[in-house]
Structure 1
Amino acid sequence: MEKDKYSAYVTSIEEQCKDLTVETVHKLGEGWMSMVLKINEEWAFRFAKNQRASDDLDKEARILPSLSSCISAAVPRFKYYGRQKDGLAFAGYRLLPGEILMENSIHSFNEKERKEFIIHLSEFIKELRAFPVKQAKANGVPEQDLHSFYSRLQQEVEKDIFPLMNSSLQKYISSCFQDYLHHPRYAEYTPSPIHGDLSMDHLLIDPETFRITGVIDFGDLAISDPDFEYRYILEECGKSFLQSLLSIMGEQNIDDILKKVAFFVTFDHLQYILEGIRRKNNSWIQEGLEEIECEMNKEK
């Protein structure tokens, strides 16, 4: 039985959520950060698997009540919150309305559906950006200094990844860091709140209207370069989709933004390789290297 399979998680729920009797359990998703279970076909429970994920849940518990009043789409409202036996956090909230998108769902949309979805996506991003930075900081939302972060990443990459690359890939990566870190306008932005993990599978939509009905997984919420929000959108939905979104957002210098976001995607692949090295996961390393080589070949 599924309930027996996830008995440790069920025990945490039953011991700390006294008004909830667990009758059915199904896995909604699992990554190296969290396990997510559907309870009684009504609740989503997220269980942190490491300290970083636990800290992210703590951050969400603080900020989501305030954020929910500023966002048109539904966001998780934690009714249940507790600690697992290892001290890591877990949280439970009612399932949000709508259907979760898959990473490649957008490619099946027709032109009208695509346009409608982009309009609602732009509305969510604008609403989140409008949330007061001071209030976000007061609730523990961190500010990201991307320039410093990517300067450190470059050092790690040269030390740990360059030995795995041929000279062409090394030159390509060096030029990416050089062009990003020394671009005169990339550091000129007004920091704003961003979701930080805006992949398609964190969005729920009404399949009839293509309106965004819910947004989940705010664990990477940060105060950062607003353009950093677009990196998964570019990677999953493509350049033309992001161009349309940027246009509807009223962004200026769209070509510059597209180039910057492409750097963010490349740097994400490098972080993926580094994580593969740390975990001794050769498939992650190989996958990341292939993605970067594919990018380099497209630039030629």
Structure 2
Amino acid sequence: MSYEENNPSDIDQKWVFQILKNIIPDLETSEISFLYHGTYNVFKVKDEFIFRFPDKHFRNQKGQQMIVNEIKTLKMLKKHIKIKIPDPIFFSTRKDELYMGYKKIEGISLSRCVRMMSSSQKLEIAGSIGKILSQLHSRSLIHKIFPKTNFSFNAFKQDWRHKFEKIKAIAYPILSENQKDWVHKLYSCYLNNEDNFNFEPSIAHCDFDTSNIIVNPSNFRIEGIIDFEDTKIYDPSIDLLFLDEGEEFMKMIFKKYKIHKYDDLKERILFFYNQMGLEYLIFGIENDLEEMIKAGISLLIKRME
């Protein structure tokens, strides 16, 4: 299970019930079940709705903007992509009452069933992922959704340089020499290769993994995609980090993915994939989250193998 699936809620469920009772008057306490806790505390309500309440570190202006941006993005994307995505029907942007609710997309996360699937079923899923990302990353969609946004390659590169400096400042003290050498090589190779900053930007989900892909458990077909809070104009490679599923899975994605060739993105995919543990580690250190720090180091060690 992922860190998010093991992470307990950091919000009082009695308070959640009171908020939801104002929206759904006939709600019973037994009809609320906690699902997982990442950026949001996520609850299933009446087996019909999904409600998301920000983690305590986002119950502020940043959390407000996060909800506003996601709702705006979802409303625009809904007009242009064929797969089901959340359609927010309940939300509040008050600092003391931040949440978003939508009708549940029926199914389960791909992460919960991918190990039970046959090789042919996995390849069918991979092909579907390629088709979905072809829609999301299409050249025409970026102009429809974010027509006035200019992507700055300089700002993008500076952001990754800043992340590397932050890692050296606050993560290096708890890493072994071997781990520091590996991280230094990872970031240096990425930052010093100008080809990594000469790509065609796309609308990217930016958290497109098996936990956010909803499938029908009876036939393993994709029903929808969730969790669009990080969606923005970005390097499309960030949405193609399915290396854990094997080379054949990746090849099938790119057989159906019509925007870029695998070889053109492979180096950047590998960088984004390998640095994932460091994202957990930095957030955990900055917010004194011991379990997230452990999860980050564990993932770092796994990537180094």
The interval holding the TM-score normalised by the smaller chain is: 0.7 to 0.9
Instruction: Tell me whether 1:54 sits opposite 2:64 in the alignment.
Output: yes
Instruction: Tell me whether 1:22 sits opposite 2:31 in the alignment.
Output: no
Alpha-carbon shift at residue 239 of structure 1 (Å): 4.3
Counterpart of 1:34?
40
Query: Aligned to 2:238, which of 215, 228, 234?
Result: 228
* Deviation string, structure 1 residues 236-255 (Cα, Å, up to 9, x no partner): 53444223312332566534
Counterpart of 1:112?
120
Distance 1:64 1:281, change over 3 A: closer
Alpha-carbon shift at residue 107 of structure 1 (Å): 2.8
Distance 1:102 1:118, change over 3 A: closer
Larger displacement relative to structure 2 (178-187 or 206-215): 206-215
Instruction: Tell me whether 1:195 sits opposite 2:201 in the alignment.
Output: no
CA distance in 2, matches of 1:125, 1:32: 23
Distance 1:94 1:220, change over 3 A: same
Query: Aligned to 2:175, which of 165, 170, 175?
Result: 165
CA distance in 1, matches of 2:168, 2:217: 45
Distance 1:47 1:68, change over 3 A: same
Alpha-carbon shift at residue 151 of structure 1 (Å): 0.5
Query: Aligned to 2:132, which of 119, 124, 129?
Result: 124
Distance 1:117 1:253, change over 3 A: closer
User: Contact 1:197–1:220 (CA<8 Å) still a contact in 2?
Assistant: yes
User: Contact 2:127–2:253 (CA<8 Å) still a contact in 1?
Assistant: yes
Alpha-carbon shift at residue 141 of structure 1 (Å): 11
CA distance in 2, matches of 1:286, 1:39: 31
Secondary structure of the residue aligned to 1:103 is helix
Secondary structure of the residue aligned to 1:198 is coil
Indicate the percent of aligned positions where both proteins have the same amino acid.
Answer: 17
Unpaired runs of at least 5, structure 1: none
Q: Supply the RMSD in Å over aligned alpha carbons.
A: 2.8
Aligned residues between the structures: 287
Partner letter of residue 100 of structure 1? I
* Deviation string, structure 1 residues 169-203 (Cα, Å, up to 9, x no partner): 22221111111112232112111111111121211
Counterpart of 1:262?
270
Partner letter of residue 196 of structure 1? C
* Deviation string, structure 1 residues 216-248 (Cα, Å, up to 9, x no partner): 1111111101111123x23x5344422331233
User: Contact 2:172–2:180 (CA<8 Å) still a contact in 1?
Assistant: yes
Counterpart of 1:95?
104
Secondary structure of the residue aligned to 2:83 is coil
Structure 2 length-normalised TM: 0.82
Partner letter of residue 229 of structure 1? D
Distance 1:287 1:28, change over 3 A: closer
Partner letter of residue 27 of structure 2? V
Partner letter of residue 175 of structure 1? K
CA distance in 1, matches of 2:189, 2:88: 42
Instruction: Tell me whether 1:210 sits opposite 2:220 in the alignment.
Output: yes
Partner letter of residue 141 of structure 2? P
Secondary structure of the residue aligned to 1:35 is strand
Query: Aligned to 1:8, which of 15, 22, 25?
Result: 15
Unpaired runs of at least 5, structure 2: 1-11
Secondary structure of the residue aligned to 2:197 is coil
User: Contact 1:39–1:45 (CA<8 Å) still a contact in 2?
Assistant: yes
Query: Aligned to 1:76, which of 62, 65, 86?
Result: 86
Distance 1:183 1:140, change over 3 A: closer
Distance 1:287 1:82, change over 3 A: closer
The runs of at least 4 consecutive aligned structure 1 residues that moved more than 4 Å come to 138-145, 250-253
Alpha-carbon shift at residue 160 of structure 1 (Å): 1.5
Partner letter of residue 25 of structure 1? E
Partner letter of residue 165 of structure 1? L
CA distance in 2, matches of 1:32, 1:195: 16
* Deviation string, structure 1 residues 34-76 (Cα, Å, up to 9, x no partner): 2222222212122223234432221122121221122222111
User: Contact 1:59–1:141 (CA<8 Å) still a contact in 2?
Assistant: no
User: Contact 1:63–1:139 (CA<8 Å) still a contact in 2?
Assistant: no
CA distance in 1, matches of 2:21, 2:250: 44
Alpha-carbon shift at residue 142 of structure 1 (Å): 8.8
